[in-house]
Structure 1
């Protein structure tokens, strides 16, 4: 299956590369960051399943500083450039097929830490992103990263996502990390903030146990936190090092606004990610 997925991605990359010139794809062309993921979620009141696909193409006819990206994912998360920890499957949030769509576009590396992307999502709806990422070493055991993304869509107009992460190695196989992200758009003018504080323990052979405290808040809802909870996750390879499984269990206290009470409940998720 992995071979079939990769061959399909390579076939697509060759076809797209041919649109831009006659240089052969074998002259430096490649498919990187390929992921095909299946996520299953169970909550007391509902079950859901979602499939996500992402890949990045380096095309010789676009020269070294440009690339093409394609996939099927949650367009809200892709366009606002949400950190992976805040995607719906990673927060044990239900996601229907209607909430994912195909997207594609072209990115240009302006500098080592900055790229400009122009893309289209389902229905040929355009969007533009300007992304900046800067990792910072704060010492032998401390690492920080700053991420800033400005984006534009027809519906949102201008928008911005700012994310900061701080990580400290407590031991050779134990680390703690705090990640916070905030997004606001010109159309909504409501700042949404997500926070994740976690401890991560490695057990060798790409096995990891994590315990995370998660909280989200949004302006003009009348409540301090629209959701908060705790979750544990176990991740390990299922086959070789390219098929990775993850089990998640969490308990959450959501409250959309001040007109409804909190609705605490358990949630469980299972995901398989094929890297190609």
Structure 2
């Protein structure tokens, strides 16, 4: 638990620096949050703390991050009008630490965060968002199941990840527009997202999400994501997911499919077993890789700090690519919500 507490001072610092420079949970703001706690004691003192003291510190750390984030939101909102922040203002976000061990690649780690700010005075313009994540996946709007993180693929902080920020506006509950920048202010992107759910019965749900995107350096593209869920019981379900992305920078369609069984347990615990296949058209080998992945997710502190364990085995089909080898992979993700 001591490690979880250390997440919050770091994300607080990043959030302030990022917002001062140039998403989507909904938690009520906590205006009375105490200031961020700074721990200057050594390891021997930390080890001597009681569980109650650790719990109090973790709560203070989380509330401190919310207070810092909300303070930035109030300041920005005040630039656009005099409506009190309490009249519809909200801040929410998450911070993740990922650790990946893939055969022949060693251990890698990454840091991600997302913050969403709903501002009363900016409501006519939409909401603000900031974060750090895989820049290509952010722009092309990839479903979480097909991100490199969840497919246990290594990422480079320097080459794959970047800071992003922008403004979003929901025209209807099914239509949303976002404009932002990634990396530097000259690297602009825009998205128009349409999403729709069809409930055929109490047990069957089909979803569609289409995102048309544009980025200043690569031009236009589109991502289509489909998913189908069938509930066998209140705790067991089958899920099929598919995604396809095409853009001016790709020679064909990048696609992926996932077929999996998921089980929910009491106290927000869940497990999953999925079969994965992905590839790209207009290549010598159309199917790029097969794989299987097992996951377990549960809270480790209250209902806002989670750990997710993943393990998988992958079979690449292009033997001429030296970077794609048959391999085992395992991942650990720690996520804190605020």
Q: Normalising by the residue count of structure 1, what TM-score does the alignment of the two structures yield? A: 0.95
C-alpha contact (below 8 Å) 2:115/2:129 kept by paired residues: yes
The answer to which structure has the higher helix fraction is 2
What's 1:36 paired with?
95
- The reply on whether 1:6 has 2:66 as its aligned counterpart is yes
C-alpha contact (below 8 Å) 1:155/1:187 kept by paired residues: no
C-alpha contact (below 8 Å) 1:156/1:188 kept by paired residues: no
C-alpha contact (below 8 Å) 1:36/1:52 kept by paired residues: yes
Aligned counterpart in structure 1 of residue 164 of structure 2, from 95, 99, 103: 103
The answer to which structure has the higher strand fraction is 1
SS in 1 for 2:287: coil
- The reply on whether 1:225 has 2:287 as its aligned counterpart is yes
Give the distance between the partners of 1:233 and 1:258, measured in 2 at CA: 28
Aligned counterpart in structure 2 of residue 128 of structure 1, from 178, 187, 190: 190
Give the distance between the partners of 1:26 and 1:200, measured in 2 at CA: 39
Aligned counterpart in structure 1 of residue 273 of structure 2, from 211, 215, 219: 211
Give the distance between the partners of 1:120 and 1:15, measured in 2 at CA: 21
Post-superposition offset of 1:249: 0.5
Post-superposition offset of 1:205: 0.8
Unmatched tracts of structure 1, length 5 or more: none
User: Cα RMSD over matched residues?
Assistant: 1.5
SS in 2 for 1:193: strand
Give the distance between the partners of 1:131 and 1:148, measured in 2 at CA: 6
Aligned counterpart in structure 1 of residue 200 of structure 2, from 116, 134, 138: 138
Distance 1:65 1:169, change over 3 A: farther
Q: Which runs of 4+ in 1 moved over 6 A?
A: none
Post-superposition offset of 1:264: 0.9
SS in 2 for 1:263: coil
Unmatched tracts of structure 2, length 5 or more: 1-60
What's 2:173 paired with?
112
Give the distance between the partners of 1:23 and 1:75, measured in 2 at CA: 34
Aligned counterpart in structure 2 of residue 60 of structure 1, from 120, 145, 154: 120
> Following superposition of structure 1 onto structure 2, how do residues 1-276 of structure 1 map, counting pairs within 5 Å?
1-32=61-92, 34-46=93-105, 47-63=107-123, 66-98=126-158, 99-124=160-185, 125-255=187-317, 257=318, 259-260=320-321, 263-276=325-338
C-alpha contact (below 8 Å) 2:251/2:282 kept by paired residues: no
Q: Which moved more, 1:228-237 or 1:40-49?
A: 40-49
Larger radius of gyration: 2
Post-superposition offset of 1:229: 0.5
Give the distance between the partners of 1:3 and 1:19, measured in 2 at CA: 25
Give the distance between the partners of 2:265 and 2:143, measured in 1 at CA: 24
SS in 2 for 1:187: coil
Give the distance between the partners of 2:125 and 2:242, measured in 1 at CA: 30
Once the two structures are superposed, residues 113-134 of structure 1 have per-residue CA deviations (whole angstroms, 9 ceiling, x without a partner) of 1011110111111100001111
SS in 2 for 1:90: coil
Post-superposition offset of 1:193: 0.2
Q: Normalising by the residue count of structure 2, what TM-score does the alignment of the two structures yield? A: 0.78
Post-superposition offset of 1:169: 0.2
Give the distance between the partners of 1:64 and 1:259, measured in 2 at CA: 53
SS in 1 for 2:252: coil
Give the distance between the partners of 1:260 and 1:94, measured in 2 at CA: 16
Give the distance between the partners of 2:302 and 2:142, measured in 1 at CA: 29
